[in-house]
């Protein structure tokens, strides 16, 4: 199957600030070890627009309501992309949205609105403070929602399948080194 190549990759928020849980942090909530955080959390106001980081295809879009006792994803959307320089397939994950505008199999353009950050402490965002959880996944696609944390004994994912989102985006848009005439040479 042909996957959509994205020539550029941008941040999903107009002001992308990781002021919540950073990538790779070992986190404890209510005395429970949640494990290693697989994305970056940006605390921001409910209603903040969330944009597609690149061109791609929606592979997951669903509502996972949470409760006070058991927080969850709220609305979550996952987009498959193909990296321009490496031809590698990867996924961007946007969670705790109030609404998703996109459905599975929708094609999206870079910067296209996907939804907005959900109202804090409600089931629409899975019972968390209002924030975006944003992640970059490079592992095999299982046609299912992905976890936000890696726990000891976690079978569904591996920490090495996840990249630090901020670093990934910054590296993605660096000018190519091998360019002579503006075109990347094939190896």
Residues at the contact surface with Zn ion, assessed by CB under 5 A: 39, 41, 133
Which CB atom, from 82 or from 133, has the smaller least distance to Zn ion?
133
Calpha distance 185→187 (Å, rounded)? 6
Shortest distance (Å) from residue 151 CB to Zn ion: 14
- CA angle 76-80-82, nearest 5°? 155
Q: Number of C-alpha atoms within 13 angstroms, CB side, residue 64?
A: 17
Torsion region of 84: left, alpha or beta (phi above 0 gives left; psi -120 to 50 gives alpha): alpha
CB of 37 to Zn ion, least distance (A): 6
Measured from the CB of residue 74, what is the shortest distance to Zn ion in angstroms?
11
Whose CB is nearest to Zn ion? 133
23 vs 172 by CB, closer to Zn ion: 23
Which is nearer to Zn ion, 139 or 147 (by Cβ)?
147
For residue 35, the minimal CB distance to Zn ion (Å) is: 11
Nearest to 128 by CA among 31, 38, 30, 49: 30
CB of 96 to Zn ion, least distance (A): 8
Short-list 61, 45, 43, CA closest to 132: 43
Cβ nearer to Zn ion, comparing 27 with 138:
27
| Residue closer to Zn ion (CB basis): 90 or 162 | 162
């Amino acid at each position: 199957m042909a996957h959509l190549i994205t020539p550029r990759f941008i941040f999903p928020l107009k002001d992308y600030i990781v002021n919540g849980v950073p990538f790779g942090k070992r986190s404890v909530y209510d005395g429970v070890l949640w494990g290693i955080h697989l994305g970056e959390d940006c605390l921001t106001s409910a209603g903040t627009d969330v944009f597609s980081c690149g061109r791609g295809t929606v592979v997951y879009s669903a509502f996972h309501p949470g409760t006070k006792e058991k927080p969850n994803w709220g609305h979550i959307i996952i987009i498959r992309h193909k990296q321009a320089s490496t031809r590698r397939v990867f996924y961007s994950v946007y969670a705790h949205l109030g609404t998703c505008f996109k459905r599975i199999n929708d094609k999206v353009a870079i910067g296209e609105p996907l939804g907005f950050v959900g109202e804090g402490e409600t089931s629409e965002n899975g019972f968390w403070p209002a924030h975006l959880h944003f992640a970059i996944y490079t592992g095999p696609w299982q046609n299912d929602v992905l976890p936000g944390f890696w726990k000891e004994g976690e079978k569904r994912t591996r920490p090495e399948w996840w990249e630090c989102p901020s670093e990934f985006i910054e590296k993605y848009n660096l000018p190519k080194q091998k360019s002579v005439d503006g075109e990347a040479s094939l190896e």
